[in-house]
Amino acid sequence: MYGTESLAINEQGHLTLGGADIPALASKYGTPLYLMDEGGIRKACRAYLEAGRKHYGENFFPAFAGKAFCIGAMYRILAEEGFGADVVSGGELYTAHRAGFDMRKILYHGNNKTRAELAEGLDYGVGRFVVDNVDEMRALESLCAERNVRAGILLRITPGVEAHTHAYIRTGQIDSKFGMAIETGAADEGVRTALSCPHLDLHGFHCHIGSQILETEPFAAAAEVMTDYIAHVRDTFGTVVPELNVGGGFGIRYTEEDTPKTPDENLAALAAALKAACAGKNLPLPRLMIEPGRSIVAPYGVTVYTVGGVKTIPGYRTYVAVDGGMTDNPRYILYGSKYEFVVPERASEPRTMTATIAGRNCESGDLVGENVSIQPVRPGDLLCTLTTGAYCYAMASNYNRVPRPAVVMIRDGSDRLVVRRETLEDLVRCDIL
Ligand SMILES: *Cc1c(COP(=O)(O)O)cnc(C)c1O
């Protein structure tokens, strides 16, 4: 009833996630609290793997975009589900390595990896470096030469397809801090450089056209542009690259305004476009890589807060203050993101109250939602934000020295702590008096 299949209402009228009673978990672990339905995450992984195999075959490699939810337990789940993973920093790489993740299944992204980070990537043996620019390529080449090792690379290309949730634009968008544009010749310069680096193996190209994309057409368009580019590289440089990574950005349902495509629909469109484009250019089918982040985790996460004050400003609005805010969910203050909210103890009652959900931090913009519908609340009630599994814990901060919440995974109705709540001691552990 509340949008994701992970949520239900039990006999007590309580909201459940993955079969577990949310108010009971809130009393067990305290609030604010992140809850994640591990069963839902695993199902999402399987849906991508099945869709890829069904529509494209075995030459398909899905990698989770770690930036959406980067914790050790997540890498264990990904490994068990046969997924690869993207990392974008030494910290994400360390998290994956520490969890025992197979480094050959890591794609190392980032538009400005430091020399030290590149060296770590080489020493860990990551599968692919996604190289952003020629300077990075030269740095990687020299590090490989020092070590007498080779590195497998993909070049990040700006394809000139920019997706907005529904529409996409076929030109422009060469003005990006990420990647090398086809139109300006930067991509060709990247290919020329890569082919001249004796320690770098150019396996293919990568692009990422946007996030929260709710249609299949932008992915098909990106596949076409990238296939044209692979053909151009064959004709210009005499090299047929075997891999194409079309990035992530598959949309999800945050509110009922969003009608996302399923993994099956997205992969069907992507595979059809890629097969047609390759046939047209007389190219062998490349290994298809995708990088879903949000769609693997966002729908399966809930944040649980305790309501503090409820303040009505006559003629204006009612603020419901919660014991979290921009520190555990900065997406509202960053992008004005929309969410649904539920009072989990009265989940079956109608949401007749219009409220603005205010955080506890010292910023007027510290809201989690504006003019949203919730069950009428009183101080002391619990309040859940739905679909917070992506880019919430991952973006959480200690602003105002607020400890970051715990993360609890739920599988088949039973719960386990995967990130403990920060303590006051954690907050001061780097301070030197
Ligand atoms: C952010 C990002 C992703 C994941 O995007 P989602 O919207 O979370 O699916 C994948 N690849 C790259 C390169 C990204 O920057």
The pLDDT of residue 1: 65
- How would residue 6 be classed by pLDDT, with cut points 50, 70 and 90? very high
The pLDDT of residue 300: 98
Task: Tell me how far apart the alpha carbons of residues 110 and 189 are, in angstroms, rounded to a whole number.
Answer: 19
Burial of 140 (0-12, 13-18, 19+ CB in 10 A): buried
90-105 per-position pLDDT tens digit: 999 999 999 999 999 9
Centre of ligand 1 from the C-alpha of residue 235, in Å: 30
- For ligand 1, atom 7, which residue shows the shortest CA distance? 249
Mean pLDDT score, 354-379:
97
The answer on pLDDT for 162 being more than 80 is no
Pocket test for ligand 1, best of 64, 128, 254, 291 (most atoms within 8 A of CB): 291
Mean pLDDT of the chain, nearest integer: 96
The pLDDT of residue 172: 43
CA of 298, closest atom in ligand 1: 8
167-182 per-position pLDDT tens digit: 666 544 677 788 899 9
Mean pLDDT score, 187-199:
98
The answer on pLDDT for 116 being more than 90 is yes
**Percent of the chain with pLDDT strictly greater than 90:** 93
325-362 per-position pLDDT tens digit: 999 999 999 989 999 999 999 999 999 999 999 999 99
The pLDDT of residue 320: 98
- For ligand 1, atom 15, which residue shows the shortest CA distance? 208
Centre of ligand 1 from the C-alpha of residue 67, in Å: 8
Task: Tell me how far apart the alpha carbons of residues 361 and 350 are, in angstroms, rounded to a whole number.
Answer: 29
Centre of ligand 1 from the C-alpha of residue 319, in Å: 33
CA of 391, closest atom in ligand 1: 8
Task: Tell me how far apart the alpha carbons of residues 263 and 360 are, in angstroms, rounded to a whole number.
Answer: 37
The pLDDT of residue 236: 98
Pocket test for ligand 1, best of 211, 270, 297, 392 (most atoms within 8 A of CB): 211
CA angle 37, 249, 223 (to 5 degrees): 135
Centre of ligand 1 from the C-alpha of residue 289, in Å: 12
Burial of 353 (0-12, 13-18, 19+ CB in 10 A): middle
The pLDDT of residue 167: 65
Mean pLDDT score, 415-428:
98
CA of 130, closest atom in ligand 1: 13
The pLDDT of residue 149: 98
- Asked whether the beta carbons of 415 and 32 are under 8 A apart, the reply is no
The answer on pLDDT for 39 being more than 50 is yes
The answer on pLDDT for 377 being more than 60 is yes
Task: Provide φ and ψ at 313, rounded to 5°.
Answer: -105, 105
Pocket test for ligand 1, best of 129, 207, 208 (most atoms within 8 A of CB): 208
The pLDDT of residue 160: 85
Centre of ligand 1 from the C-alpha of residue 391, in Å: 11
Ligand 1 pocket list (CB less than 6 A): 65, 67-68, 86, 109, 208, 211, 247-250, 291-295, 390
CA of 251, closest atom in ligand 1: 7
* Residue 384 appears among annotated catalytic residues: no
Centre of ligand 1 from the C-alpha of residue 278, in Å: 25
The pLDDT of residue 123: 98
Determine which one of 45, 144, 197, 362 is catalytic: 362
204-218 per-position pLDDT tens digit: 999 999 999 999 999
The pLDDT of residue 175: 76
